[in-house]
Amino acid sequence: MKNKEQTKEIERLVYNYFSSKKIIEFYSRPRLHTTEGKIIGKFFKKRGKILDVCCGAARASIALGKRGFKVYGVDINKILIKKGIENIKKEKINNVKCILMNAKDMEFKKESFDYVVIFENSLEHIPKKVNRFLIFKKAYTSLKKGGIMIVTFHPFLYPPIFLRAIFFNFMDKLRRKLKFGDILFYNKIYYHIFPSWEKILLIKMFKFKFFRIFPHNVLYTRNNKIPYRKFYMMLFPFIYQYWVLRK
Ligand SMILES: C[S@@+](CC[C@H](N)C(=O)[O-])C[C@H]1O[C@@H](n2cnc3c(N)ncnc32)[C@H](O)[C@@H]1O
């Protein structure tokens, strides 16, 4: 299978996966996860403009809109965006917009957002490094100087994914052609589990002034105090990690 065909095939799988009834239901309920809420509370101090990349059905966009932010959400999936627009209407808010768009094609005005969020490890569903880097670059460009970006990633050693990668990745032609860190579960959903060096490369390339990594479950256990760690957090197999970056 050629490279381009493989990418298309993976994009089709990802699209179909996020179009299933169960998934739409899961991503439709407007709310922030506890950890998202805590991190937003700590780092998004003024009520500015947020870009929600791969927003799905506006789960987080609407919740952030209700907290007084102006939010633009972008997603490639027609069904999710339609659901998001319905939910925005239901909630009767006018400060949240959902836009049907491939994140690779985002063309927002340079430095026009105070914050960018890429929640629920969405970058991991984008096939090919060049595409993931392009999305990251576009998000970075649209962020104001001093603005904050929050991206979530699974740690590379997250056991369920790591083990499955070992057992499942050699089964058919599509899988055998995958790159390091790429995983295809049951021919249904694609993940790229960023090796630590790929994350560091992203952050160094764009010269972020500051970064912190927060593991999901530590945040859960300690009320409002948010402990943070730096590099070595990458080695811990927690559920997933919040990377908070300042431009
Ligand atoms: C795990 S879901 C997260 C949804 C949302 N961020 C949330 O937290 O509720 C991943 C989302 O990424 C979207 N997605 C995948 N590839 C995309 C692309 N190239 N451009 C924009 N969105 C994309 C999917 O359609 C899906 O809605």
- Ligand 1 center to 16 CA (angstroms): 12
Mean predicted confidence (pLDDT) in 122-127: 95
- Ligand 1 center to 76 CA (angstroms): 7
Give the least confident one: 40-49, 50-59, 65-74, 198-207.
198-207
- Model confidence band, residue 69 (pLDDT cutoffs 50, 70, 90): very high
Give the least confident one: 24-28, 46-50, 125-129, 170-174.
170-174
- Ligand 1 center to 54 CA (angstroms): 4
* Residue 204, pLDDT score: 86
Ligand 1 atom with the smallest distance to the CA of 74 is 21
Q: Backbone phi, then psi, for 220, in 5-degree steps?
A: -65, -35
* Residue 212, pLDDT score: 84
Query: How many angstroms separate the CA atoms of 197 and 52, rounded?
Result: 25
Q: Decide which of 210 and 38 is more confident.
A: 38
Nearest CA to ligand 1 atom 6: 55
Mean predicted confidence (pLDDT) in 205-210: 86
Q: What is the pLDDT of residues 141-191, one digit of tens each?
A: 999 999 999 999 988 777 777 676 666 666 655 566 677 778 877 668 888
CB distance 18 to ligand 1 below 6 Å: yes
Ligand 1 atom with the smallest distance to the CA of 15 is 25
- Ligand 1 center to 103 CA (angstroms): 9
Return the CATH number at 164. Answer: 3.40.50.150
* Residue 56, pLDDT score: 97
Structural domain including 146 reads 3-246
Q: What is the residue whose two structure tokens read 């599509």?
A: 174
* Residue 171, pLDDT score: 60
- Which of 96, 139, 79, 89 has the alpha carbon at shortest distance from 115? 139
Order of strands across the sheet that contains 143-153: 96-100, 70-75, 49-53, 113-118, 143-153, 241-246, 210-215
* Residue 211, pLDDT score: 81
Mean predicted confidence (pLDDT) in 64-80: 98
- Model confidence band, residue 67 (pLDDT cutoffs 50, 70, 90): very high
Ligand 1 atom with the smallest distance to the CA of 58 is 9
CB distance 61 to ligand 1 below 6 Å: no
Q: Output the DSSP codes for 60-91.
A: HHHHHHHTT-EEEEEES-HHHHHHHHHHHHHH
* Residue 189, pLDDT score: 85
First to last CA, the chain: 40
Q: Decide which of 105 and 193 is more confident.
A: 105
pTM: 0.91
How many independent structural domains does the chain possess? 1
CB distance 55 to ligand 1 below 6 Å: yes
* Residue 50, pLDDT score: 98
* Residue 172, pLDDT score: 57
Mean predicted confidence (pLDDT) in 39-51: 95
